[in-house]
Chains A and B, each alone.
Chain A
Amino acid sequence: MAGSHSYPGTTSPPARGTARKLAPRAGCTTESPLARRLLIAVALGFIGLVLLLPLAAVFVQAFKRGADVYFAALTEPDALAAIRLTLFTALIVVPLNTIFGIAAAWCLTKFAFRGKQWLITLIDLPFAVSPVIAGFLFILLFGAHGWFGSWLAAHDVQIVFALPGIVLATLFVTFPFVARELIPLMQSQGTLEEEAAATLGAKGWKMFRHITLPNIKWGLLYGIVICNARAMGEFGAVSVVSGHIRGETNTLPLHVEILYNEYQFSAAFAAASLLVAVALLTLTAKQWLERKRL
């Protein structure tokens, strides 16, 4: 899950997009021009086949019936409600998981304690849990026949098939993203700077703000950006807990599926293209962040 960033504070930050600083004497550590071209071609071909074509398919399908249909599909009330819900969910989920990520990375990298490896494994676990199961978990807990079902019904609180359920499922699915990004980064930075600051009398929050945060900010932002993209795009887990109420508990990915099931293929792909746009924006933001870091 580590991002493609170099870690600040290392001796040789690799220059992205340009030849490495070793380029002049790199002749012996690279391939022949032919092999190089071949490898680039293979990489481009593979990415084109696996990633770019589906992307293109989304846009071709979205505009198949013309731009009018495209924009009409995005401005109808149900689509707008889905967009609002998706944004709102991300707005709750991302900050929560960010705070968790920072706290987890802090205690896991700045201190040594028993069971650390287990804790990291547990944090990673949601990566490997099938989204279907993730959604189902919250039905088992908060569904009418779940553990807290009768209590919730008695107090007239709706969790699943309403916003809280969607938020919980999304929280679960995006749980490790920020932490996963920060742990290796902070690990590589060690504790020297903070310890020095502490010796000089800096207190916790101040130390974090002045020493740690500047060191981890790009990794942190990258984690946030990816967490956000995943939060907006989650389908499987949210599908289980949403209830599919039009204009109310349909997130954008669910809206795509609904339109698809209504044989409104162009509209479905139009909604999908919004999510693709979010993805592309995410990727641009990430690139920008990486450039900034140098």
Chain B
Amino acid sequence: MSSRQYRKKIILWVFIAAMSLTAACGGGTAGTKTGGPSGTAAAGTEPVVLQNVSYDPTRELYADYNKAFAAYWQGKTGQSVTVKQSHGGSGKQARSVIDGLQADVVTLALAYDIDAIQQAGLIKEGWQTRLKDNSAPYYSTIVFLVRKGNPKGIRDWNDLVQPGVQVITPNPKTSGGARWNYLAAWGYALAASGGDEEQAKEWLRGLYGNVPVLDSGARGATTTFVERGIGDVLISWENEAFLAANELGKDEFEIVVPTVSILAEPPVAVVDGTVDKRGTRKVAEAYLEYLYTEEGQEIAAKHYYRPRLEKVAAEYGQRFPQVKLLTIHDQFGGWAQAHKKHFADGALFDEIYRR
């Protein structure tokens, strides 16, 4: 066979292979579904798969926790459980669930995002009272991460608006964590101005005037601060600040706790629409309840989330300094209010940037 003929043959075969593949896959894709156990699976001892849709900073936490829960559940019921994780920006994750991502449980950055899922009809009303502590098994707060030796002498919120100080914080319109940052700052400014909103707004304008990069997510902001070396101070979740200080750059950063901050409660909820369809309610509820047990609290504390359980809190007491914490409920009248006033299009945050 001459090489020309040979080549022709090859091309023909490639073509035929392509054709048949297409036919095969055309049939294949149509029938593809996400695998899930049938309704009976959860009750018996057949393996069960749970889908946990979470936000960015909880990756390490749930990687550990899922193992612990699997062992606990196996021991208790004899059923093996695998928890699949999905992480991303809190708002984006909530949107994916609303648009059809099959989550059994959601563990997001703020109640506002779970409220949005509730409004789409996937979670029943009153979800936040179903579990203890506003359905937030662990909590955190907002602190500052500064460079070693604190060269700019940052002690409290007011130091952030000084000229020449560069502040890194993500965009509150795209990042759940950044909303906590913003609200903590607003709480401070309002208290400092004695409740004068115009003055507080001016103060915030000064703060965001010192922000050179507005990353779209909390993790992006940490990377900008730590890896790119930009900025003098990072406003961040306490757990993220610990992670950066202890694991990303040992002895390169210090944590500064301001005089006042916000009680940041990342809530959890079972997605009723999914668990009822898949028959996973029992294991999903147990999954969230286990977070409140000593083992669950221990894992949360290990990953720098503040535990609720007295005993564990005492054990990790020296790690988490006492600080006056504002709450979203008392200070802002809940998330819906806060969102409307601060983050909606044309609201306060947009005004700060309007020229």
Contacts and interface: CB of A to CB of B under 8 A. Distances in A.
B34 interface: yes
Contacts of A213: 8, 11-12, 15
B84 A244 contact: no
A156 B33 contact: yes
A248 B247 CA distance: 28
Contacts of B199: none
Contacts of B15: 213
B29 A246 contact: no
Interface residues of A, number: 41
Interface stretch (B18-26, B151-159, B260-268, B340-348): B18-26
A167 B29 contact: yes
Interface string A243-274: 11111100000000010111101000000000
Given A162-B34, A263-B247, A245 B86 contact: yes
A144 B99 contact: yes
A217 interface: yes
B100 A261 contact: no
Interface stretch (A24-32, A34-42, A95-103): A95-103
Interface in B1-34: 8, 11-12, 15, 18-19, 21-22, 25, 29-30, 32-34
Contacts of A164: 29-30, 32
A157 interface: yes
A145 B119 CA distance: 13
Most buried by B among A92, A95, A164: A95
B102 A96 contact: no
B32 A158 contact: yes
A243 B21 contact: no
A8 interface: no
Interface string A141-171: 0111110010011001110111110010000
A1 interface: no
Nearest to B54: A244
A3 interface: no
Contacts of A190: none
A232 interface: no
Contacts of A114: none
Contact of B99 (A92, A160, A246): A160
Nearest to B25: A92
The interface residues of chain B, by DSSP majority, are classed as helix
A209 interface: yes
A248 B84 contact: yes
B219 interface: yes
A244 B34 contact: no
Contacts of A160: 99-101
B120 interface: yes
B32 A261 contact: no
B36 to A, nearest CB: 9
B32 A163 contact: yes
Interface in B211-264: 217, 219-220, 222-223, 226-227, 243, 247-248
B22 A99 contact: yes
Contacts of B98: 144-145
B37 interface: no
B33 A95 contact: no
A245 B29 CA distance: 18
B87 to A, nearest CB: 6
Contact of B100 (A91, A144, A245, A260): A144
A276 to B, nearest CB: 20
Contacts of B88: 244
A263 B34 contact: no
Contacts of B247: 263
Given A99-B18, A153-B100, A261-B219, A162 B12 contact: no
A145 B85 contact: no
A214 B8 contact: yes
A182 interface: no
A95 B22 contact: yes
B59 interface: yes
B102 A262 contact: no
Given A91-B21, A92-B25, A95-B19, A243 B101 contact: yes
Contacts of A156: 33
Nearest to B226: A263
Nearest to B32: A163
B51 interface: yes
In order of increasing CB-CB distance, the 5 nearest A-B pairs are A143-B99, A95-B18, A144-B100, A161-B101, A92-B25
8 contacts: A98-B18, A99-B19, A142-B100, A158-B34, A160-B100, A245-B86, A260-B223, A263-B248
